[in-house]
Amino acid sequence: MYLYELPTTGTISFADFCVDQSIKKRYTNQIPEATQARANLKGLLKESKRADHGEKDFLALIKVLDEYLPHLRGIMACIAHDEIGLKAEPTFSWRTTLSANFLHNSPRLSLPSLHADYAFTLLTRAFATANLARVTVLSLGSYEFDRAISDAERKRKDESLNVAVDWLRTAGGIFSFVADTLLPEWETNRGGGTLGLSKPPELSREVNSALAKMSLAEAQTLAIRKLLSKAAYDSNVTPGPPLPKSHPSPALIAKLHLECASLYSSARSLVKSITTGKSTLPSKNNGEVSADLRGYLADQAALHAALAHKWLGVDAGENGGTNQGGEAVAFLAWAKKGLEELRDSGKGIGLSKEDKEKRGLRKEKIAEQLDSVNVFYKHYRKVNDTLHYQPVPPQSDLQARIPAGVLAIQAKPFTSALPLFGPGSLAYLRMQEEDPSEQNENVSRPQTDNASTPETPRNYAGAGAYF
């Protein structure tokens, strides 16, 4: 699974550019409280940057992000309704972490507008959520191949995989929200939007759509692992054919892998398509997505294509009868070739060049898959050579026999954080119910950014789910 580098952000005080314009000056306390909530986020991001990977507390970071977002939404809602005015356009400093850059040094950018801070805060939330899923999975180890594990313990770890799947679905929903809602809203914002602004790749619709697809593929990968958990345990003593009775349909497993390959491939096409025009990044940057991420997407697409070919071969060998003996050998030979190319590519999967230990772990996982393919390949080739005598079709003929992929996992729709104060907040609605005269306070102040605040109260994603 991909490990996101988390950004860091600079110090800012909302009091420097926010003016309470409400008649009763009701936001005197809320403005500094928003500043404090953001300072808490800044501090934890800085602390996380300095910590070793095993010491990073992604759950604590998610909590602080979810505490800050309602404050930021409150400021945005009040500005949209002219209850808070701006002395000047605020500028927020963030480090971009997905950009192709010189010597892997994340550049710091200064971006105008509250929408910029909102977008980067949500991206950080999605990055941290995906990283939490990764940490959860790593903590489980290769439990399904542990011959001494109890059935109850295996099921408990299966449930932990489900939790990680849920984290990734959440991350995918956030990326989709940024791509489909936040960035278009920013472009039409009354403050000038993004006109003339050169944004980093993180703030493009294409990259966020790609990250949403990637998160979905990661979640489906874990779902496949859970689906195979019992069969993997039952095959510990005698891996390979014949499949245990607990094994799910090889054709279904192949289709799930095919969809993963398609998602990764589509994500790669999207990140390769972006151009940022005249870049605001330092001179050694080209505005493209980092080579690490592009390489990860390419390798993952190739990996899942190879695994799909493996299971199509197994399906032909186990369920196809004598007429598909040659087809089983051909698909497994194709899978073997793909895995060998990945093993020997020297790129690794989803790992930076500096991370040699994890890179070695990835190569070890590819080697394990290659060993499994070799077991099936040797068996079906022997059966075909001694029993079926079916011709082995060329790889070009197999293309027409590949089915469509199947998507078993859906992203979780993300709902924007409810403002903690101001129009759209629960406190504001209660105040209007208690004192109807409050409803007329801003009649002469038309709302010019309807998308900036929800019309009806909704719980923000993650509320009560983790803490």
- Give the 3-state DSSP-derived string for the chain, with helices as H, strands as E and coil as C: CCCCCCCCECCCCHHHCEEECCCCCCCCCHHHHHHHHHHHHHHHHHHHHHCCHHHCCHHHHHHHHHHHHHHHHHHHHHHHCCCEEECCCCEEEEECCCECCHHHCCCEEEEECHHHHHHHHHHHHHHHHHHHHHHHHHHHCCHHHCCCCCHHHHHHHHHHHHHHHHHHHHHHHHHHHHHHHHHHHHHCCCCCCCCCCCCCHHHCHHHHHHHHHHHHHHHHHHHHHHHHHHHHHHCCCCCCCCCCCCCCCHHHHHHHHHHHHHHHHHHHHHHHHCCCCCCCCCCCCCCCECHHHHHHHHHHHHHHHHHHHHHHHHHHHHHCCHHHHHHHHHHHHHHHHHHHHHHHCCCCCCCCCCCHHHHHHHHHHHHHHHHHHHHHHHHHHHHHHHHHCCCCCCHHHHHHHCCCCCCCCCCCCCCCCCCCCCCCCHHHHHHHHHCHHHHHCCCCCCCCCHHHCCCCCCCCCCCCCCC
With tokens 């966020």, the residue in question is 208
What pLDDT score does 53 carry?
65
Query: Per the domain annotation, does 261 fall within a domain?
Result: no
As for how many domains the chain has, the answer is: 1
Q: Which long-range contacts (CB under 8 A, 24 or more apart) does 283-286 make?
A: 284/101, 284/102, 284/103, 285/99, 285/100, 285/101, 285/102, 285/107, 286/100
Q: What predicted TM-score, i.e. pTM, was given to this entire model? A: 0.87
What pLDDT score does 105 carry?
64
Longest dimension (CA), the chain: 90
Query: Per the domain annotation, does 147 fall within a domain?
Result: yes
Query: Per the domain annotation, does 69 fall within a domain?
Result: yes
List the domain range (segments joined by +) for residue 460: 9-205+413-467
What pLDDT score does 91 carry?
94
CA gap 143, 155 in Å, rounded: 10
List Cα–Cα distances, 126 to 68, 167, 250, 465, in angstroms: 14, 9, 33, 15
289 pairs with which residues across the strands? 99
CA gap 195, 209 in Å, rounded: 21
What pLDDT score does 360 carry?
73
Query: Per the domain annotation, does 196 fall within a domain?
Result: yes
CA gap 338, 428 in Å, rounded: 59
Query: Per the domain annotation, does 47 fall within a domain?
Result: yes
152 CA to centre of own chain? 30
What pLDDT score does 283 carry?
35
What pLDDT score does 240 carry?
86
Identity of the residue numbered 339: L
Nearest alpha-carbon partner for 157 in 79, 252, 72, 222: 222
Query: Per the domain annotation, does 381 fall within a domain?
Result: no
Nearest alpha-carbon partner for 395 in 301, 327, 447, 458: 327
CA gap 458, 359 in Å, rounded: 43
Residues 6+ apart with CB under 8 A from 338: 302, 303, 305, 306, 309
pLDDT averaged per 10 residues in sequence order, the chain, 467 residues: 94 96 91 98 94 82 97 96 93 90 70 94 98 95 91 95 97 97 88 73 95 98 96 87 93 98 97 62 57 92 97 91 85 96 69 58 86 95 90 92 94 92 90 66 42 38 36
What pLDDT score does 309 carry?
97
| Cβ neighbour number for residue 104 with a 10 Å cutoff | 14
CA gap 161, 213 in Å, rounded: 19
Query: Per the domain annotation, does 457 fall within a domain?
Result: yes
What pLDDT score does 461 carry?
41
Residues 6+ apart with CB under 8 A from 255: 308, 403, 404, 405, 406
What pLDDT score does 47 carry?
93
Identity of the residue numbered 89: E
Contact between 100 and 65 (Cβ < 8 Å): no
| Cβ neighbour number for residue 396 with a 10 Å cutoff | 7
Nearest alpha-carbon partner for 74 in 114, 23, 24: 114
Query: Per the domain annotation, does 325 fall within a domain?
Result: no
